[in-house]
Amino acid sequence: MKLSENAKVVLEKRYYQKDKNGKVTEDWKGMLNRVAKNISGGDKDKFKKYFNLLDSGKFLPNSPTLMNAGSDLQQLSACFVLPIEDSMESIFETIKNAALIHKSGGGTGFSFSRLREANSRVRSTNGVSSGPISFLKVYNAATDAVKQGGTRRGANMAILNVTHPQILDFITCKEDTTQLTNFNLSVGLTEDFMQAVYQDEEYELISPNTGKVVEKRKARDVFDLIVDMAYKNGEPGVVFLDRINRYNPTPEIGQIESTNPCGEQPLLPNEACNLGSVNLSAFVSNHKIAWNDLKEVIRDSVDFLDDVIQASRFPLPQIEEMAKGNRKIVLGIMGWADLLYQLNIPYASEQAVLLAEKTMEFIDFHAKQRSMEIAQTKGSFPNFEKSIYKKGKLLRDKLNQNWQALQKDIKSKGIRNATVTTIAPTGTISMILDTSSGIEPQFSLVFTKHVMDGENLLYVNKWFEQTLREAGIYKKELLEKVAKEGSIHGIKEIPASIKNVFQTAHDISPEWHIKMQAAFQRFTDNAVSKTINFSREAKKEDIRAAFELAYKLGCKGVTVYRDGSRENQVLQTSASHEPKTKTEKKVEPRNRPEITQGITQKIETGCGHMYVTINSDEFGACEVFVQMGKVGGCASAQLEAIARLASLALRSNLKLDSLVRQLKGIRCQSPMWNKGKMITSCGDAVGQALENYLAMDINNGSKSYTIKFEPTKVEEHGSQRMIANCPDCGNSIEHIEGCLKCPVCGWSKC
């Protein structure tokens, strides 16, 4: 397969194996050899089939499989759900287990609904409980302390049932977006609650400890609070727990209480799942879908994913038991938006929605058929006798003749996997295959990559570029205009026929986003990862309508994001000015201009990767930002304090070299070599970054620049300034599939 330059960067940074010195030791072919050999288990025919499947550009498994297959770690699953019972022993045993999973490269989901509410009596100690929110913070801090396999950061989902007495505290616990940064939050909504919302009735809050009703609240008031918070910063999302359990294939084994971090994979406690996605954009020929080719890839993908279960080394014995007991695999898709571009079908159209349902039905049907065939030679999943399949049911509401026949066959012949389909985020694997993520629309058709020599590189969607060339209007100036505008909607040079097809995320109304999610959900065993994008000008009523429409159309959950409501991290709050006294004149820092220019340096410290951004105005250096993704608590606060005080000093005309002298040489217990220099502490790292800045002679007291850099992209939000740039490479990030993602280097918050 021919790799794009962007794909090569992502692969070398995140996927290819390296030696002890960090030198890359494999290439694309080497990685595929390693993975195919490991998953095929020595079967030569399977090895050839799997190698060709991976090299075709039509399918890739989840990142842990690509990273870990054939390695010492051999942990190949991406999704885990762990139980939390109402005891100290269970709470901290689960923290330990989550740490092991994060270290191996997996993400975890938890339900905190079994934990008794705060101030509830603890009989064994004659004390009172601190409640689920306090333990949620403990889990978040524990995740900060674990470096996830050296390649992925820890990501979690926390769910609390809407009937829990502390549900209001849970809904608002991420109002400060600097808190609980390792968690996505979702409220578990029940059918009774939703009916109470529609009928404007009260519903009951029930203590998990006693099982008794402790309070009643108006359902609409609670629903309004969820809407308010989702409007402010996109969290919490919602999951419809009763609906999820209605499609639970093994209800006798247990009830589903939580999902994986991005919400598309509901799992039983101690269950794991491995993912894989078909690249739909690779199946278009002469403006038609190659259905037969797609069918063969689906069948090979099911074989591959089922063999991943056997090859995987699970982090805990109870997880291995559950994973092999149900043998859940999840085949999803990517490249949906790019497929629509090739077929000249607008994303926001009934034609696209109908095609989505048809396509997912095709994938699900043939995946189940192949799983049934495997069962005839290898046996059904061990819990088959306790499943709905043995009772002659399928995870579908309406069955035509083909589905009815398949249902009978599965009842009599068995099926290898309890579930076979999910629409998961495809993150970096879609970047490797140079296609759109999951079922999301493209976030942008052209974006600018900033490189260190000051040059701006334009990345153009290949189908958009092809269309512009065919129309005879392709030129760099037009692409630059598209990159600046973020949409082609208002660009006069582009014909209406092209504008109609090449829609991007913010060209599409929330209603169409939800219709698309619902269309795919109808033929998906598990759930669908999708972000419902709203413009900055959207109203709270629009968010409410989206939640209600998602419930009405049969979605299993929904995540919304209003543009600009939450970015990567709060870097600076407006400085308050000390009042002047009558007896003493004090220095007042100069105001910060609207736009500053500067650089970001990456420095290795004993605590992890540090990114120091130094910006300047017409008088010289004026502000410092320090970011380190793997720390939290006091460490994070101290770094922010250093940055704020340094910024205040610089805008008060303190010489930069004075700051350098004060910070350099501070020592801690974790020194680290960085490019031939010893970094003795995080404070020392900031000092060395400031010293490097001086050496570069960038606007040092003058208006001349020896190196050109683009302005840091920030957005104003009241008294706070939010950064919308990737912490790894500094380019703009996107909010899709329920998470923040960089389209350049593959960095993901999840």
Catalytic residues: 260, 262, 264
Tokens representing residue 122 in the block: 């603890």
DSSP state of 74: -
Decide: helix, strand or coil at residue 570: strand
Q: Please say whether the beta carbons of 413 and 372 come within 8 A.
A: yes
Q: Please say whether the beta carbons of 73 and 149 come within 8 A.
A: yes
Decide: helix, strand or coil at residue 494: coil
242: left (phi over 0), alpha (psi -120 to 50) or beta: alpha
Calpha distance 426→433 (Å, rounded): 10
Tokens representing residue 721 in the block: 């300034």
What does the DSSP assignment read for 155-193? -EEEEEETTSTTHHHHHHTTSSTTSSTTEEEEEEE-HHH
Bridge pairing between strands 714-717 and 720-723: antiparallel
Bridge pairing between strands 531-534 and 620-627: unpaired
Sign for the pseudo-dihedral over CA of 49, 51, 55, 60? positive
Question: Which helix (H) or strand (E) segment is 213 a member of?
Answer: strand 213-218
Calpha distance 203→215 (Å, rounded): 9
Calpha distance 371→533 (Å, rounded): 35
Calpha distance 149→172 (Å, rounded): 31
| Nearest CA-CA partner of 528 in 337, 283, 259 | 259
Calpha distance 611→613 (Å, rounded): 7
Calpha distance 98→81 (Å, rounded): 9
CA distance between the termini of the chain: 28
Q: Please say whether the beta carbons of 698 and 706 come within 8 A.
A: yes
Reduced DSSP (H G I as helix, E B as strand, rest coil) percent helix, strand, coil of the chain, to 5: 40, 20, 40
Calpha distance 104→77 (Å, rounded): 9
Calpha distance 207→730 (Å, rounded): 46
**Alpha-carbon dihedral of residues 651, 652, 658, 664, nearest 10 degrees?**
-50
DSSP state of 126: T
CA distances from 584 to 228, 388, 587, 591, 649 (A): 46, 80, 10, 21, 19
What does the DSSP assignment read for 318-334? HHHHHHHHH--EEEEEE
The CA-based angle 376-62-560, given to 5 degrees, is: 115
The CA-based angle 627-629-632, given to 5 degrees, is: 95
